[in-house]
Structure 1
Amino acid sequence: MNPKHQLTPEQQAWYDKACACVDKERLRQLNLDLVNIHSPTGAEKEASEFMSRYMADMGLNAKYQPVNELSGNAVGELNGSGEGATMLLYAPIDTHLEGSEEDLPMVGDELRDDMRPQGYLRDDLVIGLGSSNPKGMVSGLAEAVNAVVDAGVPLKGNIVLAFAGGGMPSMVPERNNYGVSTGVSYMLTHGVTADFGIIFKPWYEVYHEHPGMCWFKVRVKGDMGYSGIPRGTPGFRSSIVPAATVIQELEQWLPEYTKANTSDQIAPEGWIAAVRSGWPHRPAFPAATTELFIDMRCNPHQTTSDVRHQFDQAMKDIVARHPEVEADWEMYASCPGSMTPEDHWIVQSARSAWENQEGKEYPGAPMLSGQTDAAIINKLGVPLVRVGYPWIGDADVPEEFAAGLGGMGVSNIGDMVAPVENIIYSIIDSMTRTRDEVGV
């Protein structure tokens, strides 16, 4: 453990008292209550208003920060004596699915219980849309601060507990194109700030590097045709068949992109995520254009322009080797990666918290590529570390929820206790010291 982050006897007593105040039932109930408040991307108003009231009841100076008529953020501040730094504790609050028949068949043949915004309890599990991600993250951070308040820890610094909408890597056209860190970008450009912070996400690890993301659209060209036309008829070219060639070529190239751009903690993946062509209700007329949508992640040292350049070169090579392919492409959304120096106070505090909990040296985090609001929070000036809780897929999970990502809707409350205690450790390590002591 870094000696700077070894708790003093007085801090250790505060830590022990706060950990004793962690209330699993309170954590479970908040998690369940949040699942029952539907908050798809771009429509988080009710959930954020609920969390604003919840934080006010905790004793925080809390407010609902409206962004538009459908969405807003929840921000609560717990003020210390004024001698210390300000620490952001953050999680998004929106779910990645609509939780309705609208999601079919993209999520599978039916909506499972972990994909529905109606929660229920099964032993130590909370089941329902987003119960793990993001509702478990919100609940875990709230419980950490609740325990610190209940323990009466004398803070020198300020804690900003914040939850924003639009955190999922998606854009919802009917809701102001919300998504890709819309809510937290608004939050941090409208009065909310901190000296450093923690984002709570899945995986019981410590990350100081935060992946970025670039989205590309490829349009493969052909001619609108008629299904009764014989193959080879002059003037008719399928757009779908050459699109299949592009798909196979990109699938060969994307792993090479990952290898070429791997950094300390980030192995940036790329996936062909969607294909669109033609009219399902008019299959007699094959379409003139087939569109491919690709999500590519990037490491903190890449610019989004560099990612675009690499994609441009790959597509130019594909087209040059396949004369039958006519295509154009564009990058239509992007969020750069970012990082906090590994020796930064908050990174070392998070590692020390993990080591204190596990009784051994932190072995280093496995590579990841999951993009979060951390990337933009860091870019907007708040040094951030990502910590988390065991992903339900790493443990025994009810068989009916085991396949695929699902609704990220199985939360194990028992597995949340140690990560919550780690958050408490970093709060006491950082917020019971002066600004000079934590290097700001």
Structure 2
Amino acid sequence: MEPTVRIPFSAQQQAWYEAACARLDAGRLKQLLFDLTNIHSPTGATRAASEFVAARLGAAGLRSAYKPMSERTGNVLAERRGSGGGATLLLYAPIDTHLEGDESDFPWAGPEQYADLRPEAKMVGDWVYGLGSSNPKAMVSTLVEIATALIEADVPIVGDLNVGFADGGMPVNIAARDNAGMSNGVFHLLNRGMAPDFAIIMKPWNWVYHEEPGMGWFRIDVKGTLGYAGVPRGLPAFRSSVVPAVTVIQKLEAWLIDYAERNTSGVVKPYGWIAGVRGGWPERPAFPSATTQIFLDVRINPRTTPAEVKSQFAAFIADLRAAHPDLDLDWEMYGSTPGGTTDASNWIIQSARRGWETIENAPYRDPDLLGGQTDGAALRRLGVPTARIGWPWPATGSPEPIAEGLGGMGATYVPDLMPCARKIMYAVIDTLTRSRGEMGL
């Protein structure tokens, strides 16, 4: 990795930065996070949470608005204008949660509804629990706190500060709610007046990323015939779809591992995972299903198009059929979003790295390879240079039992957020107290 470009703060900028950081209030952030987590906001139904945050930003001194997309959902866009002649910087995070927060989540999200899976907030010391309290609501709350502290410190910004939060940031598609998900909210904001020169998206992991993958959703239909539990095996009129699906799953898992290795470049390793298998009727176990469906998500490197990944998947299917001519199957790509990249030498990437180095007191180094997809990819694809900045995740040492694995992304240790807030504040001061020409605009 190339060394970070050194552009030291002036004495005045350093003073502004220190004053703004001094106004960052962990207690206020914790209370905001608790209050926001207590407002349920599943994908496609974020109106109450978005209106709450819009009001909070307005009270902090920004010109703030709720941007409806339907009766039940919408986005937030707030602005603090500078004196003029500077860049517009967007601080961004999604606001929707990945799960519904009700009985429909189970048993698929785990064996029981731990504190991090419930759509009600719980505070234990410096921990805040509840569905989405870590991702996305810790990000939303931290960015609100950064904007609030900047205003309270009375920093004379030249550029304009935008703060935006959108529905649809989760990699889901909720058909019952106008097909919400797949970055539909951030597209809505960008098509309706949000026009930043640079953006910072806050997301987990303590690195600065200049690029993120997209994703491709595939379904394989393994075919047989409708069967009956009372007939013997071997009859030519009856063929299982379930048993051959096992072969497909095993071959697919091996292919996904190889795919990730072959398509790794930059800081992106595009993992893929089998997400689920569906077939038959639980209430009719006497009748084996004529079709077993396999669903998977394959991440897409920014230097690989969804069409190229579709072609790679088609080649896998062709090889599978050649090796197992007895398999009867079909497939489709039913969802896709391309990845996005920003030149690593871009101002906002370098500024974010300077902030990282200031707080970590160490040179920036090669980050862990990234497979997580966010709205940052959409921002970059639509022409907004975007840096992704995060914090150590998942939090460790929880005093409350939480779900294994990803769970509800709902256990936040608030002190972990504060170093990230100071890193982002560095980039805010660095960017908004300069003229456009100083940043190459």
Q: How does 1:310-325 map to 2 (within 5 A)?
A: 310-325=312-327
Task: Determine whether 1:49 maps to 2:23.
Answer: no
Runs of 5+ consecutive residues of structure 2 not aligned to the other structure: none
Seq. identity, %: 51
Which residue number corresponds to residue 405 of structure 1? 406
- Asked whether the equivalents of residues 220 and 326 of structure 1 are also in contact (C-alpha less than 8 Å), the reply is yes
Aligned length: 439
What letter matches 1:297 in structure 2?
A: R
- Asked whether the equivalents of residues 257 and 271 of structure 2 are also in contact (C-alpha less than 8 Å), the reply is yes
Q: How does 1:385-424 map to 2 (within 5 A)?
A: 385-393=387-395, 395-398=396-399, 400-401=401-402, 403-424=404-425
- Asked whether the equivalents of residues 206 and 389 of structure 2 are also in contact (C-alpha less than 8 Å), the reply is yes
1:337 Cα offset (Å): 0.4
Alignment partners' CA distance in 2, 1:399 and 1:265: 34
Task: Determine whether 1:137 maps to 2:163.
Answer: no
1:94 Cα offset (Å): 0.4
Task: Determine whether 1:200 maps to 2:229.
Answer: no
Which residue number corresponds to residue 166 of structure 1? 168
- Asked whether the equivalents of residues 5 and 429 of structure 1 are also in contact (C-alpha less than 8 Å), the reply is no
- More moved, 1-10 vs 278-287: 1-10
- Asked whether the equivalents of residues 218 and 296 of structure 2 are also in contact (C-alpha less than 8 Å), the reply is yes
- Asked whether the equivalents of residues 89 and 432 of structure 2 are also in contact (C-alpha less than 8 Å), the reply is yes
- Asked whether the equivalents of residues 85 and 435 of structure 1 are also in contact (C-alpha less than 8 Å), the reply is yes
1:4 Cα offset (Å): 4.6
Which residue number corresponds to residue 333 of structure 2? 331
1:5 Cα offset (Å): 3.0
- Asked whether the equivalents of residues 5 and 348 of structure 1 are also in contact (C-alpha less than 8 Å), the reply is no
* Among 98, 101, 104, the residue aligned to 1:102: 104
Task: Determine whether 1:427 maps to 2:428.
Answer: yes
Secondary structure of the structure 1 residue equivalent to 2:295: strand
Secondary structure of the structure 2 residue equivalent to 1:392: coil
Q: Could you list the per-position Cα deviations for residues 119-159 of structure 1 after superposition, in whole angstroms to 9, with x for gaps in the alignment? A: 11111111111111000000011111111000000000001
- Asked whether the equivalents of residues 269 and 296 of structure 1 are also in contact (C-alpha less than 8 Å), the reply is yes
Which residue number corresponds to residue 308 of structure 1? 310
1:398 Cα offset (Å): 3.7
Runs of 5+ consecutive residues of structure 1 not aligned to the other structure: none
Provide TM-score, normalisation by structure 1.
0.98
1:73 Cα offset (Å): 0.1
Q: How does 1:39-118 map to 2 (within 5 A)?
A: 39-118=41-120
* Among 283, 286, 290, the residue aligned to 2:285: 283
* Among 7, 11, 21, the residue aligned to 2:23: 21
Q: Could you list the per-position Cα deviations for residues 289-320 of structure 1 after superposition, in whole angstroms to 9, with x for gaps in the alignment? A: 11111100011100000000000100111111
Which residue number corresponds to residue 186 of structure 1? 188
Task: Determine whether 1:226 maps to 2:228.
Answer: yes
Q: Could you list the per-position Cα deviations for residues 332-354 of structure 1 after superposition, in whole angstroms to 9, with x for gaps in the alignment? A: 11010010001000000000001
1:2 Cα offset (Å): 4.3
Secondary structure of the structure 2 residue equivalent to 1:37: coil
1:396 Cα offset (Å): 2.5
CA RMSD of aligned residues (A): 1.1
Provide TM-score, normalisation by structure 2.
0.98
1:26 Cα offset (Å): 0.9
What letter matches 2:306 in structure 1?
A: T
Alignment partners' CA distance in 2, 1:392 and 1:338: 25
Q: 4+ residue stretches of structure 1 with deviation over 4 A?
A: 1-4
1:240 Cα offset (Å): 0.8
Secondary structure of the structure 1 residue equivalent to 2:281: coil
